[in-house]
Structure 1
Amino acid sequence: MSKANEQRDPRIFEEYALKLISIAREKRTGLKDFFISNNVYAFDSTTISLCLSVFWWTKLHHGKSGVKVHTLFDVKNSIPSFAIITGAEIHDSQVMDQIPYEVDSFYIFDRAYMDTKQLYAIDKVGAFFVVREKQRMVYEVVEDKRYNNPKTGVMSDTLIKLTGQKTKKQYSKPLRRIVFYDKEKNRTFVFYTNNIEVSAEDVALLYKYRWSVELFFKWMKQHLRIKEFYGTTENAVKIQVYAAITTYCLVSIIETEMAEEMTTYEVLRVLSTSLLIKMPLRQLLSSCQEELLLENKREIINNNKYIQLEIPFDEW
């Protein structure tokens, strides 16, 4: 497999992954209720560390070599809508111009993407962004709404204009600046957005959904084996990553069409342990679904027994 993947073109796997992404998104559209009608996407990257002496084509980044998987995650449908693989030395904001932006859609970014030139390009397309402040920006207040709500955590909501030497040229339009205090983490966040109509609470909530792309990366690394590679060439690494994305989409399609009461991980676990069983897929999932329900009930009963035994001891 390693030798074969040296010669194979990874673009075939990339195009097939993108095709399955479009099918999975279409099938999962409208399955979940969301507090906002616009499409919502979270964009981030994850670094896969590689050994420089083995993966000789990689470059050092902060003393480590590896590749980055930049992913645009569809928050509503829980499906990646766009993915690109680069070297670890590529800064996250350098990939923002390759994102396929949609009109009236929201794009959620972490502070690494606080690039005013790229953000202005998003505004010109007619899309909206929510990004966290990376460092203290130089600005002047155009309009102060004098809005704060201690119950929800919103501390201020102002309309500003950037006055920095570079930033005022790169983003000449007014921006909305929201300061939010998170009681759970005891931290203060500052968000920038070009949307004027959405409430400050909804802007903070939109940023909270950015965590879904982090969960996707964690799920991929834990269950689809993209931290260890069968080949050492650039082609082999890209093929394995795109194959993992393809697998995720296939499992999501099966979950949507045949196993509504099972999670994506449960479907993957059933398929991985039943590869040599010759049985219709729907029948296999329905039979395993009953076993999983019984297993979950046993876990709940055992946990309750554990809690009942622990309470008297804690009180004592």
Structure 2
Amino acid sequence: MTQLNNKTVLRKITQVFYGSYFNKIVDKYDGDYKTQHFYTRSHAIAMIYQQFSGTDSLRLLSCKAIHSSKIKQLMGAPSFSQLSRKNANRSSKIFEEMYYHLVDVAKAKLGLKIWNQQFNNIKIIDGTIVQIAASLAPKLEYKNGKAGIKVTTLYDFNRSIPAKINITPAKTNDRKCLEELFDDPQALYLFDKGYFKYKLYDKLTREGRRFITRQINNAHTKIVEEYETCSETLKDRKIWLGKSDKRAENQYREIIFYDEKNEEFKILTNDFVTPAEQVVELYKLRWSIEIFFKWIKQNLKIKKWLGYNENAIKIQIYSALIAYILLRLLHLELSPKISITLLRGLLQMNLLEHEDTITILSG
């Protein structure tokens, strides 16, 4: 590898794949077992290049690698069939573990976005479905000729990163996608009414985990006590949830408010201490995960698939999230005056330029 190529922007971004930690993951999952060409490191670099360069297909990715000496020296010159085969068969666990390793790195380096001193550990849970043509992924079909993958995400609001994800077929019930996402007893969890379940609420309450969620419109409730509020449009009360024969184990707090369009919203929580107005404002923070999903779909490559079995799809999703965290870390390192979206655009245009280029352009 020439000294110049060793100092490209792409090499700088992907330097995490040259460390001992990545080598250990590859060995753990036999990533290079019987591999004579296109090793796991090259595969990972290819997937990150695909994310940042905006390359839409395996064939185009292979073509770029074959005809660019700089790309070839970083990731080899994989053929279309090699890329397709490795996406289908090389364990997605390699990419999953690298993603979680980078999450830990990001947690250590990124500063906390403190909502206030009382709430410096807010986690948001939500899921999004990324669709695939059912004819291409028949095993992932879930309704009316549609196929897809559901990505359920634990979003760390205070660091603005996806801290954990569960990737499942789209037909998986929302409530079954929550395994291991409630990982911190000190956190406040925000989630939408799609996860409505008395057993979940009671489990979280028994474990001392605070949550705020949206109450379903037709929930059966019995008022135990009403609290005073500072506004006539805000109701705050303690309730029993469910009918007497199918009642939740615990009493909960229901807060009702109206938006600027006079639409009624009901919030359910096991937090009886935080003022009602503040509970409403906390719940509204849940929209930050919607913004994150929108950004990922608009700026990275998880709409056009490079492979259609579950392993290939997982590799692409984890690669997109790895790219996002690498971008956040680069943004932090450069401390630029530009937005992360503009930085991503600069990367796309300068991946094969000298690494100093991005520092100069980002200010």
Q: Which structure carries more relative contact order (alpha carbon 8 Å, separation 6+)?
A: 2
Structure 2 residue runs of 5 or longer lacking an equivalent are: 1-82
Q: Does 1:198 find its partner at 2:271?
A: no
Alpha carbons of structure 1 residues 178 and 100: separation in structure 2 relative to 1, 3 Å: closer
Distance 2:167 2:245 in 1: 30
Q: Does 1:276 find its partner at 2:352?
A: yes
Q: Does 1:251 find its partner at 2:327?
A: yes
Checking the alignment, whether the CA contact within 8 Å between 1:96 and 1:118 is kept in structure 2 is: no
Distance 2:312 2:142 in 1: 19
1:212 to 288, 291, 300: 288
Deviation at 1:62, TM superposition (A): 5.2
Sequence identity (%): 31
Distance 2:186 2:306 in 1: 42
Q: Which residue of 1 aligns with 2:237?
A: 158
TM-score, normalised to structure 1, is 0.84
Checking the alignment, whether the CA contact within 8 Å between 1:42 and 1:108 is kept in structure 2 is: yes
RMSD of aligned residue pairs (Cα, Å): 1.7
2:124 to 42, 46, 49: 42
Secondary structure in structure 2 of the residue aligned to 1:53? coil
2:114 to 8, 11, 33: 33
Secondary structure in structure 2 of the residue aligned to 1:57? helix
Structure 1 residue runs of 5 or longer lacking an equivalent are: 291-316
Distance 1:129 1:26 in 2: 25
Checking the alignment, whether the CA contact within 8 Å between 1:123 and 1:194 is kept in structure 2 is: yes
Q: Which residue of 2 aligns with 1:309?
A: none
Checking the alignment, whether the CA contact within 8 Å between 2:138 and 2:147 is kept in structure 1 is: no
Alpha carbons of structure 1 residues 107 and 166: separation in structure 2 relative to 1, 3 Å: farther
1:106 to 179, 182, 188: 188
Q: Does 1:177 find its partner at 2:247?
A: no
Secondary structure in structure 1 of the residue aligned to 2:293? helix
Q: Which residue of 2 aligns with 1:289?
A: 362
Alpha carbons of structure 1 residues 137 and 232: separation in structure 2 relative to 1, 3 Å: closer
Secondary structure in structure 2 of the residue aligned to 1:98? coil
2:297 to 221, 225, 228: 221
The ranges of structure 1 where at least 4 consecutive aligned residues each deviate by more than 4 angstroms after the TM superposition are none
User: How far does the alpha carbon of each residue in 1:230-252 deviate from its partner, in whole angstroms, 9 at most, with x for none?
Assistant: 11221111100000000000101
Q: Does 1:66 find its partner at 2:143?
A: no
TM-score, normalised to structure 2, is 0.73
Q: Which residue of 1 aligns with 2:68?
A: none
1:121 to 196, 203, 225: 203
Distance 1:235 1:103 in 2: 32
Distance 2:185 2:219 in 1: 27
